[in-house]
Amino acid sequence: MEGSLTLQDSKADSGLAGRSKTQLPRAPGLIYNAELFYERPAFSARLAWQYVGRQLLSLNDQLDTYLQPNRQLNFNTTYRFGKWSLSGQVQNILNKESFYKTIGKSTRYLGTQDGGGNGSYVETGRFFKLTGSFEW
């Protein structure tokens, strides 16, 4: 088992009238990872969890734009037999959104997509991958 934790408290002058200090853009206050793994010469498996906290994207006159927290659980495994190996991977097991942009800190109001469009909330779903390989 392994993991990591990042805590950051970033501040900068906003440059806007009436607002002095603000969080730095794209600097989440909390990031953590946790991983369970099992490894043997012929078999390995990993289950990994990642969390990236809310991030300020841009400052506005009234409500700022934020990227909401992102969570992802992934699994991969490899089985080796002789010079062959077979690997399987599942990303985003819990089917969480990939991108969630809002106006204000609340999750209630979707942000606007830069340049138009509706990409403020993106669900890519689960991703499955199966790979076979041979060593020469």
Instruction: Tell me the pLDDT tens digit for each residue of 92-103.
Output: 999 999 889 998
> Is 133 domain-assigned?
no
pTM: 0.84
Whether the per-residue pLDDT at 133 is higher than 90: the answer is yes
Structural domain including 50 reads 2-77+97-124
> Is 117 domain-assigned?
yes
> Is 32 domain-assigned?
yes
pLDDT category at 20 given cuts 50, 70, 90 is confident
> Is 89 domain-assigned?
no
Q: How many domains does the chain have?
A: 1
> Is 69 domain-assigned?
yes
**Residues 5 and 32 sit within 8 Å (Cβ to Cβ):** yes
* Least trusted range by pLDDT, from 26-30, 84-88, 111-115: 111-115
Sheet bearing 2-7, strands edge to edge: 2-7, 30-39, 43-52, 70-81, 84-91, 127-134
> Is 118 domain-assigned?
yes
Looking at every residue in the chain, the average pLDDT score rounds to 91
In the DSSP assignment, the letter for residue 110 is: B
